[in-house]
Amino acid sequence: MNIVVLGAGAWGTALAIAFARQQGNTGTVTLWAHEPALAALLQGARVNGLFLPGIAFPENLIVTGDFAAATQGVAQSAGEIDGLAVVAAPLAELRRTLRLLRQTAPELPYLWVCKGLEADSGLLPHQVAAEEMAPDTFCGALTGPSFAEEVASGLPAAVTLAAADAGFARVMAQSLSGPQLRIYANDDLIGAEVGGAVKNVLAIATGICDGLGLGLNARAALITRGLAEITRFGMALGARRETFMGLSGMGDLILTCTGDLSRNRRVGLALATGKPLDVITRELGHVAEGVHSAREVARRAASLGVDMPITQAVRAVLDGRLDVKAAVAQLMARDTKDE
């Protein structure tokens, strides 16, 4: 299979490295960088020094800054899926990248790896894709508990490939799986996306909890009640409950809330020190999707009548309406109820 990864950030680069290792000589893997100068630098240095320093590119990984060239030859023919585009742009750039893909390779099967709800519209990634791409194009989400640095380093990981077309999900999961990256197919696209979106918000909450030194009991409570929030929200949108017990639900939540590589957890840790949000995001140097998703998740949940107190508290902290200690006090003062 020929694969083009559209986006040379940390996760896009990590996936390109992983797929190139697994593809060997049976297919080509191309990494597209938005800026031609960056593409030339990556192709020459054979390492992404900004996001994944010290992790060398496999010899069969090609880097380019030409979008049209990157998608050439990666196509669907005779009903057999032999090419794939992986859109590794942040959610804010998903719509623009899909428009480019529609112009250059409208029939090419594609996956997206961003997580969250689009700003202003509150749409999940598959809903953005439905507005921008042909309805009969094979597509889906690659999501689950996975840090870019570990995947690029070849450490074991397991993720979910979710698509409305169960057959496509199974074919892609089998084709993309390898010794270090195991992929499970799932046809609950809504559930997989909701798990990936809301866990980032809850990771900010857990970072605040740990940054304030509230203890392991408090962290466990946050993660557990956070999973309940994810499940309520997802089911209101049409997801299946069991999806949230899997990799794209509980798995991704646990990793992002407890792993030191988590950008969203680091945002919460910094908020606990009293550092301003704009300074935190600037110093982070990466996109922390939970910062952008908190407002949209809270707003959409309210429109659905779904109770999400932790998410609402995180939103209030990010908006500057509550300080972190007041947010904790507010959550602990809520009326008791059955679990």
Contact 8, 38 (CB under 8 A): yes
Contact 94, 122 (CB under 8 A): no
Catalytically active residues are 199
Pair of tokens at residue 192: 């997989």
How would you classify the pairing of strands 80-81 and 83-87?
unpaired
Residue 46: name the closest of 16, 87, 23, 86 by CA: 16
How would you classify the pairing of strands 139-143 and 157-162?
antiparallel
| 332: phi then psi, degrees, rounded to nearest 5 | -70, -20
- Listing DSSP states for 243-279 in one string gives GGGSIIIIIHHHHHHH-TT-HHHHHHHHHHTT--HHH
Residue 55 DSSP class: -
- Virtual CA dihedral for 212, 216, 218, 224, nearest 10 degrees? 130
Cα separation of 161 and 140, whole Å?
7
List the end-to-end C-alpha distance of the chain, in Å, as a whole number: 48
| Type of residue found at 178 | G
Put residue 238 in one of left, alpha, beta given phi > 0 → left and psi -120 to 50 → alpha. left
